[in-house]
A and B are shown apart, each in its own frame.
Chain A
Amino acid sequence: MSTQESYVTEDGRTIGPTVMEMKNITLRFGGVKAITDISFDIREGEIRAIIGPNGAGKSSMLNVISGFYVPQEGEVWYKGKKRPPMKPYQVAQQGIARTFQNIALFEGMSVLDNVMTGRLRQMNAGLLSQALWKGKAEKEEVENREFVEKIIDFLEIQAIRKTPVGRLPYGLKKRVELARALAAEPSILLLDEPMAGMNVEEKEDMSRFILDMNDEFGTTIALIEHDMGVVMDLSDRVVVMDYGKKIGDGTPDEVRNNQEVIDAYLGVAHD
């Protein structure tokens, strides 16, 4: 699988070879199997969606990718290497950033400071330099601020730059969280239900940002969503999960016509 050729999509984006591969992942919590023997890959530059009804194991899957859960069975391959079990911060250091379903921002800090925390990985100045605000620390802060300002411009949140996050409405918080993840210059960006709880207009805005991010920065995006309509319009390929199992994998069209998927979504009695 990892030797795939690059190809160009209909709308002119280049999709590269596989960057991450999940091989036969099984995740158990005690006796409960959250994920059963799932394999799929994520290719460079693509928008990959994981969908499924409530309780299908989507978030667990995302947490496996982000290193939060370590699966009992199976392997995670990243950039051609098998990934040993690691802590979430180590995964982050490898260039995998994420957003959370229930927003995890620093409420008392300004939007700018929140987004700046996304740059921590790029800041190496020592304690002394940081404390005295001289030399490396100062230079780094300026460079990182410049990068963060580009993201603020990109996500159109200039007007709230100095606003404490706690004062923002939900839709904007989601956008700030996205900004922070983007600030880390991730090679893979994981989005956990980026459109949950949004109205139609906010969903449209968010879709636009996701597409533009992918287009402008070439960011590989893996997202979880249960709004089928949105997913089908956005994604290049979709994995469908139901009861911890993979029941479909392919382009939105393929998935849409898959009988098992239709059953899972429209509801058929399970044996």
Chain B
Amino acid sequence: MAQSSQATGGLASIPALLQRNATLYAEKSAYREKEFGIWQTWTWAETEKEVEALALGLINLGVNEGDFIAIIGRNRPHFYFAMTAAQSVGAVPVPVYNDSAAEEMEYILGHCGARFAIVEDQEQVDKIIEIQEHLHQFEHMIYIDPRGMRKYDHHALHEYSHIQNQGRAAYDEFITDLKARREKLTYDDTCVMLYTSGTTGKPKGVVLSNRNVIESAKNSAEFDNLGAGEEILSYLPMAWVGDFIFSLGQAYWCGFCVNCPESADTMMTDLREIGPTYYFAPPRIFETQLTNVMIRMEDAGNFKRKMFHYFMAHAKKVGGKILDGKPVGAMDRLKYALGNALVYGPLKDTLGFGRVRVGYTAGEAIGPEIFEFYRSLGINLKQLYGQTEATVFITVQPDGEVRADTVGVPAPDVEIRIEDNGEIYYRSPGVFVEYYNNPESTASTKDAEGWVATGDAGFFEEETGHLRIIDRAKDVGKMADGSMFAPKYVENKLKFYPDILEAVLFGNGKEKCVAFINIDLTAVGNWAERNNVAYASYQELAGHPRVLESIQQHVEAVNESVAQDPMLSGCQIHRFLVLHKELDADDGEMTRTRKVRRVIVAEKFKDLVEGLYDGSTTVSTKTEVTYEDGRKGSISATLELRDAKVFPTASKVAAE
């Protein structure tokens, strides 16, 4: 496990990789950002200059080795430059979710004792000013977009380009210092600190070393044959480990080009303009895109619609097999080629997937139908299983062995073992150094030999050697009768229906299971429009009898499928309700990466859970909500609680 940087040719840090790229790929595009309607490009040589100017500016501002620099904004080349500039001067970049509320930022900035922050615009500056007096170590803030900030007190507030100019002006003074600091960086120095969103408790600062990042980038790039010619679109939060690995680790290792969208809203247009060759998205994005395609096909002319459905049915039959290189008859191949010319090709192009060679989805389970849809079009979409603590990669699906219900085989250099209780442990060069300032949590997660507990329960399929994840280990519980309670398993089945956005199952230690359901406003709203169902608000739509009726059908269909599995048959949903509000990270009900915080939801909607168990048919409730600007309000509603049909456990022994 003690790989030295020898293996990577003495390239022991991200700044070292940048030096290499600036020589090796000098004139090749490194970063692009669409601004003012045009893609602006920085080559690797230019990137090196930008980073250097900023690094000199940071030294000029008084950044010391070991300082933490918070980086808060959406994906922009300037922030990627900032990460490397911070590393170059021996500081540690700490990317923070830019949609975090001020208190969340206060915790993170306070916990790492950040002295500096590099932020995007007035919105972020205002948030930090709001919390500044509680942050004793905090000194300077640097912003990129000067709009609206002319009147601010600029004693400790600087514009990004000014810092760079000061850096360039002070070149002679600081360049020796900068070079010395840069060359001092070793494989064991900290590369980045990322705060995990934490489904329970406060976020923890995961410290990743240069070894973690570079080894993981190298291994994964080799696994998928990534080269300098790849194009990626960076639009996922910079504070998330995946973006750090794709847009920085792998991009620097391979020398490929990172494209940043113009704004969050233009992501789909920009995706199409760039046509990435390597693409990553959580299942949600694929779901949304598929929903949009289906809705638009409904609006298309008769001929087009029929052609679409005809060829999609054919793709469903043979598309996946052709992609996996399995034998397919000549006639079917011909028909598929025709379909490709008429439907699949144009559709892929519209979605921006025309050039995707490798696509990944992770983070949550993806619906088998969604997964198959994209694969049948000929898009090499695969799954991986990873964690911040593993520098992403634990298992990945090799080409040709892709399935919707497994997460693949151990990634290169990763060892995996499964404990008796089903919990998955791993050991790899990507295993994190520690949780910052939290030796207890570090010790309880990582043992002396470097094995890390994932907190997920799963098992290896005997015939294929692929890993299957059941649920979070701590969420897996026992029902009152001793049978297994695996909420995620059932929730995922529900979420595969397009009109269900989120589901939360309760039942640990109880006789039977009950569920909360969130409808998907886009899908259900569209359905309402088509069926002349009038509604004024989310709440009204969520309580509409016909909506409840169709949700009930879904719940019963899921019950029927769960009943097929003797091990999990106890998890059938006996009663359910459709929530009057969408679960939201601003209200603390979800993490910023949109994972449900089960305990908080159960606590917050206690009255509703009780209602489901005591058999009431309606419950009136009042819920506090937080608006985007941090103000609070409340909504009240009377909800209908429904019974769902449950099915007897299938007698045959299922594969589970």
Contacts and interface: CB of A to CB of B under 8 A. Distances in A.
A150 interface: yes
21 contacts: A11-B151, A146-B36, A149-B36, A150-B36, A153-B35, A158-B262, A158-B263, A158-B265, A159-B262, A159-B263, A159-B266, A159-B269, A162-B269, A208-B148, A211-B148, A212-B147, A212-B148, A215-B150, A215-B151, A216-B147, A216-B148
Interface in A151-166: 152-154, 156, 158-159, 161-162
Contacts of B35: 153
B37 interface: yes
A12 interface: yes
A158 B266 contact: yes
Q: How large is the interface on B (under 10, 10 to 19, 20 to 34, 35 or more residues)?
A: 10 to 19
A117 B14 CA distance: 48
A146 B263 CA distance: 18
A218 B150 CA distance: 12
Interface string A108-127: 00000000000000000000
B266 A12 contact: no
A149 B37 contact: yes
Contacts of B262: 158-159
A215 B36 contact: no
Q: How large is the interface on A (under 10, 10 to 19, 20 to 34, 35 or more residues)?
A: 20 to 34
Nearest to B628: A201
Contact of A156 (B37, B38, B263): B263
Interface centre among B35, B36, B265, B266 (most CB of A within 10 A): B36
Interface string A64-101: 00000000000000000000000000000000000000
Interface of A: 11-13, 145-146, 149-150, 152-154, 156, 158-159, 161-162, 208, 211-212, 215-216
Contacts of A152: 36-37
Nearest to A159: B265
Contacts of A150: 36
Nearest to A13: B151
A119 to B, nearest CB: 15
Contacts of A212: 147-148
User: Chain B binding site: helix, strand, loop or mixed by DSSP?
Assistant: loop
A12 B154 CA distance: 13
B424 to A, nearest CB: 41
Contact of A12 (B150, B263, B265): B150
A145 B38 CA distance: 11
A77 B37 CA distance: 40
Contact of B151 (A12, A149, A161): A12
Interface string B94-119: 00000000000000000000000000
A67 B248 CA distance: 57
A12 B36 CA distance: 29
Contacts of B269: 159, 162
B36 A153 contact: yes
Interface centre among B37, B38, B147, B269 (most CB of A within 10 A): B37
Interface in B136-195: 147-148, 150-151
3 cross-chain pairs, A with B, having the tightest CB-CB distances, nearest first: A159-B265, A149-B36, A12-B151
A164 B531 CA distance: 27
Interface centre among A11, A12, A145, A159 (most CB of B within 10 A): A159
Contacts of A13: 151
B512 to A, nearest CB: 42
Interface in B251-301: 262-263, 265-266, 269
Contacts of B150: 12, 215
Nearest to A147: B36
A182 B159 CA distance: 26
A161 B270 CA distance: 12
Given A152-B36, A216-B147, 8 more contacts: A146-B36, A149-B36, A153-B35, A158-B37, A159-B263, A159-B269, A212-B147, A216-B148
Contacts of B266: 158-159
Interface string B1-45: 000000000000000000000000000000000011110000000
B148 A161 contact: no
B77 to A, nearest CB: 16
B125 to A, nearest CB: 14
Nearest to B629: A204
A152 B38 CA distance: 12
Contacts of B36: 146, 149-150, 152-153
Contacts of A149: 36-38
A11 B153 CA distance: 11
A262 B151 CA distance: 33
Nearest to A160: B265
Contacts of B37: 145, 149, 152, 158, 161
B372 to A, nearest CB: 31
A146 B37 CA distance: 9
B584 to A, nearest CB: 16
A176 B265 CA distance: 16
A67 B172 CA distance: 60
A149 B262 CA distance: 12
